[in-house]
Every structure is written in C-alpha cells, then in structure tokens.
Structure 1
Amino acid sequence: MVWVTRVLLRKYGRFMDDLRIYVKGGTGGMGHPRLGGEGGHGGDVWLVAQEKLTLRRLKSQFPKKRFVAGVGTNSRIFALKGAKGKDCEVNVPSGISVVADDGKLLGELNKPGDRLLVARGGIGGSLVTNFLPTKGQSFSIHLDLKLIADVGLVGFPNAGKSSLLASISHATPQIADYAFTTISPELGTVMYADHKQITVADLPGLIEGAHMNKGRGHKFLKHVERTKQLLFVVDVFGFQLSPKTPFRTAFETILLLTKELELYKEELRDKSALLAVNKMDLPNAQKNFNELMEQLQSPQDHMHSLPKEMIPVDTVRFKEIIPVSALTGEGTEDLITCLRKVLDEDAEKNIKQLAALHLSEM
C-alpha cells in the first residue's frame, strides 16, 4: 500500500507571469586629456535567479521598475585609471525567460544562481574616444515566468482539473460548475511515504485556437513547456464550451488538446503523458469509458469523419490511462501511484542516456 500525504505547495491567487522592466548600464567616466588618463567603464546590469521570489514581490519592492547601474569614475591626476561603476544586480525568480520588446529571446535563468547580463555599461573616456565616455545600454525587457512543475494538468475548461488537483494534493483551488473557473495557475505537491515529493500544476483551461493565442492560449502553453510530464484530464461525457460551440466527445477532446499543443510547439507532443478520464462516478460513465478505450486503441479508424484541422499529425501515446472521479476520489490513489512510477522511469531513462552519451565521448 502506498501512503501519501497531500499538502498545498503554493497558491497563486494574484499570479503574475510577465513583468516589463527598464534596465540601463552606467555611463563611463571622463578621461583626462592632458595626462592621457582613462575614465572607468560604467557598471553593468545583471539578472540573478533567486529562490522564493515572485514577479509580484519584485514589482512591489521596485514599483518604478527601473534598474540603473553606477557611473564610471572620472580620470583624475591621482587616479589616471578611473574605477568601474557599480554593477546593478536584479534578483528575479527562477524559471525566467528574458525577452526584448521586439520578441527576441535574450536568455533564460532556469535555476537559482543563474546570471544574465542584460545591459552593458558605457566605455570610459580615453584617447580612442577623444576622452569622452559613452552611455550604457538601455532597454525595456520582459521577464517571462514559466512554471516549473513535475506534472502539468492539460484539459479544456470544466474538465475537472481543479477538483482533481484538490483531490490528490489538498490544494484549494476555486471550484465551480462552469468553465474558466481557473484563471491563474495553481500549484500543489504530493508527498509519498519515502518523502519523495512531486509538484502538480493546474493551469488555466485551453480553448480551441489556443495556439493562436485565443483565450489565455500562450499564457497556458508557455507553462506546459516547463513541466516534465503532462496529465491530460478529460470529461468522460465530452465537452462543450458554450451553446454556440460544437460538442466534442472525450476522444475528440483528446485530439483537439493534442493538436493545440502540436501547433504551438511540435516537441510538446513528445513529452511523457498520462490520461485521467474524469467523472466516472456518474451514470453510464463506464459505457463511455469503454468506447473511449476502443477509440484510443485504433485512433486512425475513428478519425475519418472529423475535420482535417482537428486531426494532429501524431496522436499522443499515453503511458497510463486512469479512470477517476475527482468528486468521490475513485481512482485517485492509482493516479498518484502512476504519476510517481512514470516520473521515476523517465528519470532512470535520462540517466542511462546521459551515461551512454558520456561513454561515446570518451
């Protein structure tokens, strides 16, 4: 028997995943024309990844969102070589992508201690510059946070993702019987008897067209990139966003979710994935589940009547398919066990691949 303790890891009530800041390197110091002295270079601006920090806290601490490095020291008679201006270090959360206003990726800070130079200081005045200093670089940049979790819940609105997270982790997301209850990521943790912990992220629900940034498309999909494993959550009875949108069966829902991930970034379809089929406590659920299993065993035989735009290039091969009821808890212990099993298998596989790569390079 697997003994599991579920606790809340973090609740993102007022979650912020993008912050625009202004950074400016320091101006260089003046040179000394008569004695040929060189002014000091201006200070640089660095981003430094730090644990237990959020973008909201960063904004609260620095409401002007301006970070400017120190000015280089002028050349003087008693110090012909001016000192470099003081660097400005900006502490930011781990899991940050740094993006320029034009969309160019400047770099990433994935773990605590990672550093990224974002604005160089100006050059000190010297003979080359006619002893006049230059200004430092200045930019407006976006700090784009992507959640880092072991498992990311993937599903359309009202699939029961929030209820499932609450059931397996004792997190307390807002839950209601209507779509788009989750508008901000919710992160919970599952702790096993051997003290191993895995984090599970419930992300805002997708809609068709998310890859084109409809709804909260890109805000959702960017977080999926930073999860080790995907857990698809579908309603065994299918899904309909509104009376004006088509009804989708559970099988069609899976195809659409796969298509959205694929269109956003092809490599997402290669992530390790499990499937939780929810609402198994309702009447006739088993019949629908059996039909879904038959469709998943030979998906090509059931796609001929579907529009081309719904069909992914390659269907997801789920490592485990678990029928569950987030309401009653049915199947959730099996789900918890499967999440751990697949994560451990993937970790072991990665270790073997790295060992093989190391041997091939010797």
Structure 2
Amino acid sequence: MVWCSRALLRKYGNFIDNLRLYTKGGTGGMGLPRLGGHGGKGGDVWIVAKDDINLKTIKDRFPHKRFVAGIGANSSIRALKGGRGKDCIVEAPTGISVTSDDGEILGELNKANDKILVARGGDGGSFLTDFIPSKGHTNIIRLDLKLIADVGLVGFPNAGKSSLLSKVSHAKPKIANYAFTTLKPELGKIIYEDHKQVSVADLPGLIEGAHVNRGMGHKFLKHIERTKQLLFVVDVFGFQLSTKTVFRTAFETILLLTKELELYKEDLLLKPALLAINKMDLPNAEDKLNELMKQLENPNDFLHLLPEEMIPETLAEFKYVLPISASTGQGVEELTHCMRTSLQEQFELEHEQFQKEKLQSLQSPEVDQTLKEHTKKSSRLAVK
C-alpha cells in the first residue's frame, strides 16, 4: 500500500460534510392541582431539509450548535389547558443522514421538506403525574452529508474527473495538472436537448488504502454510497501518485479502484458501472488502449502479474467502456448518451422488479384465501 504523507491529509477547505449538534426538547408546563389543569407539552426539535443551505451555513449561523425547543405553558385559571411549547426547526441540506451520538440511525433527508424528529418535548403536568411536568428529551446528533447524484465519478487523483465534469456540465471545478486538485465534492448537471437532466458528482480522488481512511478515504467513499451508478475514470497511461510511489498501469488502476470499493463496502460493486478511458488525445494512446482492452476482455489471464492483495474478490463489470479525452471532448458526447441510457435501463429494471414483487405479494397464500372467501360469499349472495 502507498504511504500517505501529511501533505495529502489536507481537509476540504471550507467544505464541511459532518456536524455534531446538541438538541433538547422543551420541558412541559406545570399542571394546576386545585382545578385539575393540564400543563402544555414542551416543543419538539425537528431537522427539516432545505435546498438552499449547507452544513457550513448552520455552523456559521449557530456556532454554539445548541438547539432547544420552547417550554410548555403552565396551566392557569384562565387556561386550564396550557399552550404547547414552540418547536425548534433546524434547517439542513438535502442528502443528510441523521444519527444519534451512539450511532443509531434516526433517518435521512433525501428531498426538500423531509423532516426528522430528533428531540421530543416533555409532557405537561397532569393528574397522572401529580401535576409535575417532565423534561424534554436530550439528544446529541450528527448530521452526515452523503451526496445524492445519478452518477459518481470514481478515479485516482489527476485521472481527469474534474476536466470531464466541466466538459459535460455547467459545473466549474478547480482543474490543475497535479494530484488532489479536488479537495471537496463538486456537483454538475448534464442537460440534454429534451431537457432531461442527469446529476454527476466529482469526488476527491482515492488513493490506495482509502478503505482504512488513508488520504480522504472515508470522506470519499461515504459520498459514493448515495449515487445510483459509478463512472470509473482512468488514465490510459496509468497512474503514479508521486516519484516515491509505485507506478500502476491502467489495468492495475481499475483493479485497485475495485479493490478499494470492495474493502469499504461490497454493495458498492452492485451498482451499475461505466468505464471512461481518458487522455486519448495524447501520443501512443491507441497502443495503450489496445493493450488495456485485451486485459479487460480476459482479465483472469493477467491477474498473476499482480500482488494477491491487489486482486478484488469480484471483478468490476462495465456496461459501457468508452475511450475519451476530457481535454478535447473526444468521445464525451457518446459517453453522456451512454450514461443516460444506462440510467434509463436501471430505472426500467427496478420498475419491473417492483411490479414483480407487488404481484407476488398479491398472490400470497393469505391473499388467495381472502379472495376465495370473498368469491364464495359473492356466489352465495348471487344465488339468493
């Protein structure tokens, strides 16, 4: 595995992908023993998804990161039923996973206006509690950003992912000829002539050992969990992080990327995948492409050339393999067409599977028995 120097452990700059918050529901209101009055319930704390916000905005607006709901009103002669405490609404971006501090998953915010209750308010005092109210629930939660995109770009640093994103969409990611140009996730949209849109996420480059959190390891891998499909972007000439690290051919690069995904979470390899072989505008690229295609057609014939720890248990299967140049635009139009086609095929397959499962549930023994009894009853009524 490649050693990762301190220089590669830089953060995303101003980009924040997780946040820890203190939340507390409001205390309930006091009951009124003399007249049997009921105190108001304390307010709840909700996390609500909004499109025009990010985690850094929350941190800047609320540096204390403390959110407490209003207390319930006490019961009184004028109002035996105390008013409810004001709810505390925490606006958060879409694509958020909300967990408690001990790791319990509370929910996800996948679209605008989705909401999750994270701290419930206490009940007001009543006859059952000797008119003493209860305190609100306290919960320390974590907001974890996992990008939502149709396609996630997978590749080692300097493979050309940022150049490709800028070529296919209106996104303007930072591009330079050195590793780790992308220090934060970038999102772009491909807009087709019929106004159909496909979202694409360019994520910080992987390095060997990402699955054990080297480099940006888990910061990269957790984002790609929330993409529908993967687009491997590989330099046809291979990859070398620095002069002190091992050079990897394009074929070895594909195996290493597959291995890192597999070691982090095998389910990632169940996603449909495409392969873009980049930098085809450079001299001798065709020779390198022909060599790579032979290896991809018969991968088992070349696995003996690699160390055993580099070989994934499952070899990646690509729906489309396309040679491109993100610099000149060669093959990019065909790539965007294949991305759309692949997503449509996935949608149709999932829809077909959903219909099959729905039909099977309707044909279950319990449903069959209910239908038979209903038919017999209808027949008796018809005879009468």
- Normalising by structure 1, we get a TM-score of 0.92
Q: Which has the larger radius of gyration?
A: 2
Matched with 1:228 is 228
Matched with 2:345 is 345
Letter in structure 2 aligned against 1:231: L
1:73 and 1:296 map into 2 onto residues whose CA distance is: 70
Distance apart, 1:221 and its partner CA: 0.9
Distance apart, 1:320 and its partner CA: 0.4
Distance apart, 1:31 and its partner CA: 2.1
Contact preservation (8 Å) 2:55, 2:93: yes
2:242 and 2:13 map into 1 onto residues whose CA distance is: 26
Matched with 1:187 is 187
Change (3 A) 1:103 1:242: farther
Matched with 1:9 is none
1:252 and 1:104 map into 2 onto residues whose CA distance is: 38
Q: Does 1:113 align with 2:119?
A: no
Q: Does 1:266 align with 2:266?
A: yes
Secondary structure at the counterpart of residue 60 of structure 1: helix
Secondary structure at the counterpart of residue 135 of structure 1: coil
Secondary structure at the counterpart of residue 208 of structure 1: coil
Contact preservation (8 Å) 2:273, 2:317: yes
Matched with 1:50 is 50
Measured against aligned partners, the alpha-carbon deviations of 1:290-320 in whole angstroms (never above 9, x if no partner) come to: 1111111121221123222211111111000
Secondary structure at the counterpart of residue 28 of structure 1: coil
2:284 and 2:227 map into 1 onto residues whose CA distance is: 34
Q: How does 1:1-362 map to 2 (within 5 A)?
A: 14-362=14-362
- Larger mean Cα displacement after TM superposition, 66-75 or 167-176: 167-176
1:286 and 1:240 map into 2 onto residues whose CA distance is: 20
- Matched pairs, number: 351
2:170 and 2:290 map into 1 onto residues whose CA distance is: 30
Measured against aligned partners, the alpha-carbon deviations of 1:44-65 in whole angstroms (never above 9, x if no partner) come to: 1111112232222333333332
Contact preservation (8 Å) 2:259, 2:310: yes
2:77 and 2:147 map into 1 onto residues whose CA distance is: 53
Measured against aligned partners, the alpha-carbon deviations of 1:105-128 in whole angstroms (never above 9, x if no partner) come to: 221111222221100111222344
1:144 and 1:63 map into 2 onto residues whose CA distance is: 17
Contact preservation (8 Å) 2:239, 2:250: yes
Distance apart, 1:129 and its partner CA: 3.3
Letter in structure 1 aligned against 2:357: L
1:30 and 1:231 map into 2 onto residues whose CA distance is: 59
Secondary structure at the counterpart of residue 113 of structure 1: coil
Distance apart, 1:13 and its partner CA: 8.4
- Normalising by structure 2, we get a TM-score of 0.87
Letter in structure 2 aligned against 1:347: F
1:73 and 1:199 map into 2 onto residues whose CA distance is: 48
Percent of residue pairs identical = 66
Measured against aligned partners, the alpha-carbon deviations of 1:303-349 in whole angstroms (never above 9, x if no partner) come to: 12322221111111100000111112111111111111111111121
Letter in structure 2 aligned against 1:162: S
Secondary structure at the counterpart of residue 305 of structure 2: coil
Distance apart, 1:170 and its partner CA: 4.1
1:190 and 1:13 map into 2 onto residues whose CA distance is: 26
2:341 and 2:75 map into 1 onto residues whose CA distance is: 64
Distance apart, 1:178 and its partner CA: 0.9
2:35 and 2:140 map into 1 onto residues whose CA distance is: 38
1:222 and 1:70 map into 2 onto residues whose CA distance is: 35
**Greater share of helix:** 2
Structure showing greater relative contact order (alpha-carbon pairs closer than 8 Å, 6 or more residues apart): 1
RMSD of the alignment, in Å? 1.7
1:99 and 1:224 map into 2 onto residues whose CA distance is: 19
- Larger mean Cα displacement after TM superposition, 261-270 or 303-312: 303-312
Secondary structure at the counterpart of residue 151 of structure 1: strand
Letter in structure 2 aligned against 1:258: T
1:83 and 1:147 map into 2 onto residues whose CA distance is: 40
Distance apart, 1:165 and its partner CA: 1.2
Letter in structure 2 aligned against 1:44: D
2:262 and 2:313 map into 1 onto residues whose CA distance is: 8
Contact preservation (8 Å) 2:31, 2:39: yes
Secondary structure at the counterpart of residue 229 of structure 1: strand
Contact preservation (8 Å) 2:26, 2:85: yes
Secondary structure at the counterpart of residue 304 of structure 1: helix
- Larger mean Cα displacement after TM superposition, 208-217 or 297-306: 297-306
Change (3 A) 1:340 1:296: same
1:131 and 1:254 map into 2 onto residues whose CA distance is: 67
1:53 and 1:13 map into 2 onto residues whose CA distance is: 18
Contact preservation (8 Å) 2:13, 2:183: no
Measured against aligned partners, the alpha-carbon deviations of 1:139-189 in whole angstroms (never above 9, x if no partner) come to: 221111111111111000011111111222243211111110000111111
Matched with 1:8 is none
